[in-house]
Structures are given as structure tokens and as C-alpha cells.
Amino acid sequence: MSNILCIGAGYVGGPTMAMISKYCPEHTVTVVDINQERIDSWNSDDLPIYEPGLLEVVQQTRGRNLFFHTDIAGAITDADIIFVSVNTPTKMFGEGAGKAADLQYWEKTARDILQNCSKPEVIVVEKSTLPVRTAEAMARILESGHSSTKFSVVSNPEFLAEGTAIEDLANPDRVLIGGEENENGRKAAETVAELYAHWVPRDRLLLTSVWSSELSKLVANAMLAQRISSVNSISALCERTEADITEVSRAIGMDTRIGAKFLQASIGFGGSCFRKDILHLSYLCEYYGLPEVADYWASVVRINEWQTERFFQNILQQLFNTLAGKTITLLGFAFKQNTGDTRDSPAIPLCEKLVGENARVRIHDPKALENARVDLKHLNADISFVEDVYEAVEGAHALALVTQWAEYRELDYERIFKVMAEPAFIFDGRNHLDHAKLFEIGFNVFPLGKTPFKHI
């Protein structure tokens, strides 16, 4: 029976701890956060994040062996295993600005642990994605005090994707656990592995060195993002030729060496991880004197930004090179479907570009309107946030589909066509809709990486 603590009740900490509490009923799992409002939400049925299946798990275990509160110091005192899942945004100042990770919260957490721990042995588990070698820095901070506690630092990066977090946690491809290469380190890694072994088959628990584990997380995200940028770059070529990106993706994905996943052309990838992790990786390569490697990975981010720019340029061009006073409705704002998360969503730069042309922007999203408001509050422009999708499209000159919510396929487009300004345009940033049918209704349809369907 251990006291398991998680510092940081976010997208990663919350769902992960909910699952550990579910499958390890003999352990007590506590999640703390500096944000009182967030903790209050975790203690209600209106959870701070939308994630299919999460509420059911939380309801099952909350108050039994899962607890949420803000007494960080008190929780550290009782903890045997401490997961650190605080955010590590990209640093926006000083050395490495715009590229390196901002480690201030992470270091503060390390110092809180050192100051408040009381058990003779404590395992600190790095869950936040961090630059390689931060576990070593964490260990140095923990060893710097006069604490009688023996610490082990374990790296256990999270691979869950938002929108499918519960499924990914329940059935992970692998769980990566990096331990220090000494007896104490191996024992600590085994203790963490033991938790996951409650529901994950042993052959999917991968024990590695700390550095390999940290680097693997960055590389996994960089490789996934690289596939999207590769396909997006080819979508541009398809638009100049007669090739169709969906056919190309399908054809290459059937090669088992390539595989079918993450080959969907899009307006650009978003989310809290991809851009940030690639920039970390690139910065790391630069730091270690590998500018060519740094530039190779940085180009994945450049193509991603270019793809969003290309999408915007197409809207501008097709709408006769003027957007001033025209209404553009965004279908979706979240960075992907089934989440309210908007961090790094391509919708943000798209809106900035649209209002830069004095367009009027209307935004619809079933889960992300609240976050969208916060993301766009710096823009002094004609932007509205509309809960009813049919109201959002009324009088619009163009629709821009940003997020592939299933409901957007089910809309009554005949009804929508009737209330839009003519000629009506749809720019499908996810190739999510039935283009031929929309064209039949009367829309001018602009998919990605395919020949457009034009009446004009």
C-alpha cells in the first residue's frame, strides 16, 4: 500500500491518476494543483477537461482512493511515489527563447518536494515532457539538501492522445519507464512498472535508461509530426497536379513498412506537445553542436506553419482577394476532435490572419468556445462565438472546417446553403466532408490536396 501523489492536475495528470486509482485500489492516489478552481472542478461532475469516458472512471474512484486538493506541501509529506506532471511551456524569454523549455514550474516543484518530503524513500516520476537530462537535474536538486530521504528519479513519459486518453491509458502500445542505472534506480523503475502491471501486459512495459526514455518521448512526437508535415507538403504538390492526397496517403499507408496512421492531410497539427517537443529536440541538437539535425527537425514546424498560411491564402484568393467585411465561419476551433483543448490549434493563427484582412469571424465548436475566447482575447476585431451551428453560418460567405468533429458530417448542408451568402464557399481543412455532395448542393468546395469543385 503506497501513497501515490501527482503534482499537476492537467490533461496528463488527471486522466493518468484516475486510471491508476481504478486499477490499483490498494493504493491511495492524490492529485494536487496550485489552481484551486481546477481542483474544484475535479471534485465536481463538471471536470476541467473533456475526455470521453473520464467522468465514469473519476466517479468510480473519487473519494474511495482518488483525492483532489491544493495542499501540495501536506500531500508531499505523506507521499511514497510522486508523479510530476506540471506544465513545461516553451520559454518565451532569455536564452533559448521560443525554443527551449521553460523549466521554472518544474524546478519549483523539485524544491517543494525536497522541502516537504518525510518518507525514508521517495520515488519521483517525471511525467512532464522535458528536455533530455532534466531527470539528472531533478536528482541533483533533490540531493542538494540535507534531507534524510533517499530519492530515485524515474522517467515515465505519457503517450496518451487527447480525445482518446482513457482508451490509450487502458490499452497502451507500451509504457516507457526509464530508471537510473544502479540498484536503487532499477528497484524504483520496477516499483513504477508494478503499478502499470495491474492492467498492462508485462511485455509492453519497457524498462530503459533515464535518458533513452526522455529522448524517446521527444522523438516519438517528432516522428508523428514529421509524417503529418510530409503529407501536408505533398498535399500542396497534389493541388498543382491531378493527384489526390487521400489516394496517395492510402497507397503509401498500405505499405506495412510505412503504416496507415498519421498520414491525414490537415490545415496543420496542433496540441500542446508536437510543436513544443520538436522545438526542444531541435534546441537540444543545436546545443550539442548538430546544426544540420536541428534544422532538419525545425523544418517540420516550418512546413506546419506554412500549411496553415497556405490554407488562409487560398481563402483570400478564392474570395476575390478581399475579405474585408465578409463573414467567415470556422467549423471547429479545438486542435482535434473530441477535446475542448485549443493549445496551439491552427485555428488561432488562422483567425489572426483573417482579422488581419478585416474579415468578420464567427466561431463554432461543440466543446472549445470557452478556450477560444481566451485564445483570441488579444485580437481587437469582429469575432463572435456561437453555440448554435446554424446561427453561426447565417449570412456567411465561407465556411472553414478546422476540426473534424463527427457532427460536422451530419449537418443539413442544404439548409446551410440557403442561409449563406452566394457564391458560397467551403474550405475543408481536414478533408472531412462529402465534397461531391456539397458541390451538388451548390457550394464551391476547396479540399486539401485535391482538385477543387467550382461553380464559378
Count Cβ neighbours within 10 Å for each residue of 247-259 and write b for 16 or more, e otherwise.
Answer: ebbeebbeeeeee
Query: To the nearest whole angstrom, how small is the minimum distance from the Cβ of residue 183 to ligand UDX?
Result: 28
d(CA 347, CA 429): 10
Nearer to ligand UDX, 35 or 184 (CB): 35
Query: To the nearest whole angstrom, how small is the minimum distance from the Cβ of residue 340 to ligand UDX?
Result: 12
Of 330, 402, 388, give the one whose Cα is nearest residue 359.
330
- 214 in Cβ contact with 134 (< 8 Å): yes
Nearer to ligand UDX, 335 or 425 (CB): 335
Query: To the nearest whole angstrom, how small is the minimum distance from the Cβ of residue 140 to ligand UDX?
Result: 19
Neighbours of 172 (CB within 10 A): 19
Query: To the nearest whole angstrom, how small is the minimum distance from the Cβ of residue 112 to ligand UDX?
Result: 8
Nearer to ligand UDX, 215 or 420 (CB): 215
Q: How far does CA 268 lie from the centroid of its chain? A: 13
d(CA 416, CA 443): 10
Number of residue whose CB is nearest ligand UDX:
10
Nearer to ligand UDX, 262 or 417 (CB): 262
Nearer to ligand UDX, 41 or 451 (CB): 41
Q: Which residues bind ligand UDX (CB under 6 A)?
A: 7-13, 33-35, 38, 85-88, 105, 108-109, 127-129, 158-162, 221, 224, 228, 262-264, 266, 269-274, 335-336
d(CA 132, CA 209): 11
Nearer to ligand UDX, 269 or 297 (CB): 269
Written as one letter, the residue type at 59 is Q
- 241 in Cβ contact with 314 (< 8 Å): no
Of 4, 137, 30, 21, give the one whose Cα is nearest residue 82.
4
d(CA 432, CA 438): 12
Query: To the nearest whole angstrom, how small is the minimum distance from the Cβ of residue 320 to ligand UDX?
Result: 29
Please say if 273 is a catalytic residue.
Answer: yes
Of 51, 23, 29, 17, give the one whose Cα is nearest residue 201.
23
Helices 210-240 and 274-287 cross at an angle (nearest 10°) of 110
Of the residues 117, 273, 285, 351, only one is catalytic, namely: 273
Query: To the nearest whole angstrom, how small is the minimum distance from the Cβ of residue 412 to ligand UDX?
Result: 25
- 400 in Cβ contact with 319 (< 8 Å): no
Q: Which residues are catalytic?
A: 273
